[in-house]
Structure 1
Amino acid sequence: MPRQARLDTPGALHHIMVRGINKSVIFDDDEDKTRFLERLGYCVGEGGCVVYAWALMDNHVHILFRSGNDGISSVMRRLLTWYAQYYNRRHKRSGHLFENRYKSVLCDEEHYLLALVRYIHLNHVRANIVYTMAELDRYPWSGHRGILGKGSYPWMANEEVLARFGGAGRKAIAGYRRFMEEGMSLGHDPTMTGGGLVRSLGGWSQVRAVQRKGQREASDERILGSGDFVQAVLREAEERQLRQTTHRLRGRTIVDIIDEECGKAGINRSEITGGVRRNVVSKTRALIAWRSREELGLGAAEIARHLGVATAAVTRAIERVNKPNMSR
C-alpha cells in the first residue's frame, strides 16, 4: 500500500519524530546536540513556528511544535539537511544520516498538548538516562528545563504551556513540575506517537464499546485526536488540495498571480522582482506569495525564485498577510 501524504496543515500542532538510519546514532557528543538545537531555533524562528517540547536522544529526536503559515515540510527540510551535512563533515562520513521519512502526527491541541509535553520531556526517564525529577530539572537535552526557566530557548512557547497551570509565575511552574512528576511512573504510551482509531479512543475497550453501540468513528494514522477532529482535519486538507488542483488544471501559474496583483496595485512586474521596498510593492509581493502558496501549493523556495527574494523573506511575507483585512 502506498504511504499517505503528510498532513502539512499550517498553524497545526505536530509531533515530529526523527530517527537515525537503521537506528544509528545521530549525536556523538554534546557539541552535536548543541549545534542541532541552534539550527532548530533558527529554522522554527524563520518558519514562524513555536516549540512546546523537545528531547534529543542519541539516535532519535522528538519535537512538538505548531507550524507557521508555511507548514512543517520546509522547516524540517532546512533543519535536517543542514544537520546531516554538518554531521558528515565533522565526523568525516558520507551517506544518509536520517531515515528517509521522518514521522509527523498532527495532534488535537486542546486534548493532547500537555500530555505530549509530558510524554516527550520524560523520554530520558523512560530510557533510564535520568532517574529523578531533580536530575531532569538539570538535564540539558530536553525542553523541560526551559519551561522551568533554567534554560534559555527563546523559540520555546513556555508561556503557553505554563498558562495551562494558571499563569507564568512560581505557582504555574510548581504546577507544571507536579504534573511532570505524576507522569514519572506512567511508562511508554503508544497513544503519544501516532493517531488511529485505537489510539484516539484510548484503547481497544473503548473501540469495542463504540462498535457495540453501532457507532462509527473516523480515524487516520497521521492524526492524534477524536473522530470529529480527524474528520475536520481531513476535510480541510481535501478542500485545500481541491483548490490547488483546480487552479493547476486551469493552467494558472505564479506569473498569472504576479500580473493580476501588479495590475491591481498599479505597479510594474520589474518592481516586484527587482527588490523595490516601497510599501505598496512590499504588500503586493506578500499577497503574491500568499496566493501562490494557497492557490497553487507552491513552496517558499519556488516562490522566492520567481519574486527574486530570499526564501526567508517569502516566509515572513506570508506570515504578515491577513488577507481579509490587508489594505493597500
Structure 2
Amino acid sequence: AHILLRSSEMGLSGFMRRLLTGYAVSYNRRHRRWGHLFQNRYKSIVCDEDAYFTELVRYIHLNPLRAKLVKNLSQLDRYRWSGHSVLLGKVENDWQDRDYVLKWFGKTQGRAKDAYRNYVKKAIGEGRRPELVGGGLIRSLGGWSAVKAMRRSGGRELSDDRILGSGEFVERIIKEAEAKIKFQLPVSENHQKINEYISKICKNEKVSIDELTGGSRRKEVSGVRNRIAIELVKGRGVALAEVARRVGVSTSAISKILKRTSQ
C-alpha cells in the first residue's frame, strides 16, 4: 500500500503508529486472529511537492492496474481501494483531500477531473518507475538519462535514498535534519545544553524547576512549559516523551501543545 501524506511539524511516526496499530487491531478482531500483522517498519520517502506531486499521485493510483487487480482504466475509475475513484467522485473518503489534488489539474472541478483522468491515462503503459521508488541519485537527478548525462560531464550532485527531489532539495532536507539531530538525546553534552536552556527560561520567567516538573497549572508555569516544549520538539528535535518527562506532563499533553501552536 502507498499513501501520499503531508506531515506536520510533529513528524510522521506518531500518525503511522496509530494508523498501523489501529488497522492491525481491527483486522485481528474481524478475522479472529492475534499477533503482529506487519512484519517490518513502514518505509517513508521525503518528496519535493512542486516537482513530484502529480507524478506520485498518478503512479500510486495506477498501482491496482499494474498489479492486475483491475483490467482497465474504466474498472480503476470505480475501484474503491484506490484514491483514483475518490478524485473522480465515484467513491467517498472523508480523510482524502480530493479538492487539494484536483486544484493541480484545473480551476473548475469538471475540467480538473477530465485533465486528471487524461493525465493518468497517458501513463498506463509506463510500468514501474524505479526513479520514484528507489535509488536516491536517480530520483535526485530526475531519471537515468540525467544520471548518464551527469556522469559524462563528470559532475556530481547530492543524493539520498530517502529523499525524492532535486539535488538542491536533497541538500536542504539533509541540512534541516542534521540541525535537529545535533540536539537529539541521549548524548551527555546535549543533556547539559537542554538543562541549561530550561534553567535559563525558568530563571527569566521566575518559575522554579520544581513547579515546572511538578505538574503545576499556574498560568505562568503553563506558559513556560509551552515555550520549552515548542523549542525542544520543533527547534531541537527532542522526542516528545523526553520533553514530557522534563516538564512534568504526559506525552499527549505535549502533543496538544504542539497542535495548538500549529492551528
Q: Distance in 2 between matches of 1:282 and 1:299?
A: 19
Q: CA deviation at 1:141?
A: 0.9
Q: Distance in 2 between matches of 1:267 and 1:225?
A: 45
Q: Please tell me whether residue 123 in structure 1 is matched to residue 63 in structure 2.
A: yes
Aligned counterpart in structure 1 of residue 25 of structure 2, from 81, 85, 93: 85
RMSD: 3.1
TM-score with structure 2 setting the length:
0.82
Q: CA deviation at 1:99?
A: 2.7
Determine which structure has greater relative contact order: mean sequence separation of CA pairs < 8 Å that are 6+ residues apart, divided by chain length. 1
Q: Distance in 1 between matches of 2:89 and 2:202?
A: 48
Q: CA deviation at 1:265?
A: 4.5
Q: 1:245-264 alignment to 2 at 5 Å? A: 249-252=189-192, 260-264=200-204
Counting helix residues as a fraction of each chain, which structure ranks higher? 2
Q: Which residue of 1 aligns with 2:109?
A: 169
Conserved? CA contact 2:185–2:238, under 8 Å? no
TM-score with structure 1 setting the length:
0.68
Q: Which residue of 1 aligns with 2:156?
A: 216
Deviations 1:181-228 (A, max 9, x none): 222222221222134212333443432221111111222111112222
Change (3 A) 1:291 1:221: same
Please state whether the residue corresponding to 2:182 is helix, strand or coil.
Answer: helix
Please state whether the residue corresponding to 1:251 is helix, strand or coil.
Answer: helix
Please state whether the residue corresponding to 1:155 is helix, strand or coil.
Answer: coil
Please state whether the residue corresponding to 1:167 is helix, strand or coil.
Answer: coil
Unaligned runs of 5+ residues in structure 1 are: 1-60, 323-328
Change (3 A) 1:195 1:319: farther
Q: Distance in 2 between matches of 1:273 and 1:195?
A: 49
Please state whether the residue corresponding to 2:86 is helix, strand or coil.
Answer: helix
Deviations 1:68-98 (A, max 9, x none): 1111112212222333333334434343321
Please state whether the residue corresponding to 1:134 is helix, strand or coil.
Answer: helix
Q: Distance in 1 between matches of 2:196 and 2:23?
A: 37
Deviations 1:237-289 (A, max 9, x none): 122212446985143387765555455445566478647485x6655443222
Q: CA deviation at 1:115?
A: 0.4
Change (3 A) 1:292 1:181: same
Amino acid at match of 2:59: Y
Please state whether the residue corresponding to 1:321 is helix, strand or coil.
Answer: helix
Change (3 A) 1:65 1:263: same
Conserved? CA contact 2:185–2:191, under 8 Å? no
Q: Distance in 1 between matches of 2:167 and 2:185?
A: 27
Please state whether the residue corresponding to 1:64 is helix, strand or coil.
Answer: coil
Q: Which residue of 2 aligns with 1:308?
A: 249
Q: Distance in 2 between matches of 1:82 and 1:239?
A: 33
Deviations 1:76-130 (A, max 9, x none): 1222233333333443434332132221111111111110001111111111112
Amino acid at match of 1:293: V
Q: Distance in 2 between matches of 1:179 and 1:225?
A: 21
Q: Please tell me whether residue 155 in structure 1 is matched to residue 85 in structure 2.
A: no
Please state whether the residue corresponding to 1:65 is helix, strand or coil.
Answer: coil
Q: CA deviation at 1:160?
A: 2.5
Amino acid at match of 1:222: R
